[in-house]
Amino acid sequence: MPILGHNIVRIEVEKVQSGSGKVEVSINPKIEELRLGELQLPTGRVKGIEVIVNYIINYSPEIAKASVRLLVFYVPRVKEDIDKILDEWEEKKQLPGELVAEVVNFTTSELMPLMMMISKEMRIPYPIPLPRVVVRQE
């Protein structure tokens, strides 16, 4: 796996108003910045890319606001790609699809259990829908 670690830098959740009825929730991850990074492991130092990701969770109607900022340490499968990825980001703000998929999938899976717990404590809708059992009448 090309992701060696992550840190949650900031979590902000604010309950704006109480509401009832249908609430729609959208999760918008955005990669904000890439920079060269280095991680100290027992086997030595590893060079990679520090990816800063910001998740914005929108509620409609606006009953709450949430944002989470994470730092992810990403190591491409081919180490020579580090400079190429960083140069492309600096010039065009474009990222390889593999990096985006790995980072967003990893951070979503790490972040959602925490956001579920915070949502429960604040009495706001969960950011992802829970499966529900419906009894059909025939």
In this predicted model, what pLDDT tens digit does every residue of 19-75 receive, in sequence order? 677 888 889 999 999 999 988 888 888 899 999 999 999 988 888 999 999 999 999
In this predicted model, what pLDDT tens digit does every residue of 85-99 receive, in sequence order? 999 999 988 888 888
Is residue 86 domain-resident?
yes
CB 75 within 8 A of CB 36: no
Is residue 138 domain-resident?
no
* One-letter amino acid of 48: G
Is residue 137 domain-resident?
no
How much is the pTM?
Answer: 0.81
CB 35 within 8 A of CB 53: no
Q: How many domains does the chain have?
A: 1
Is residue 23 domain-resident?
yes
Is residue 90 domain-resident?
yes
Is residue 131 domain-resident?
no
Spatial CA neighbour of 54 closest among 16, 11, 116, 86: 11
Is residue 44 domain-resident?
yes
Range of the domain at 92: 3-122
Is residue 136 domain-resident?
no
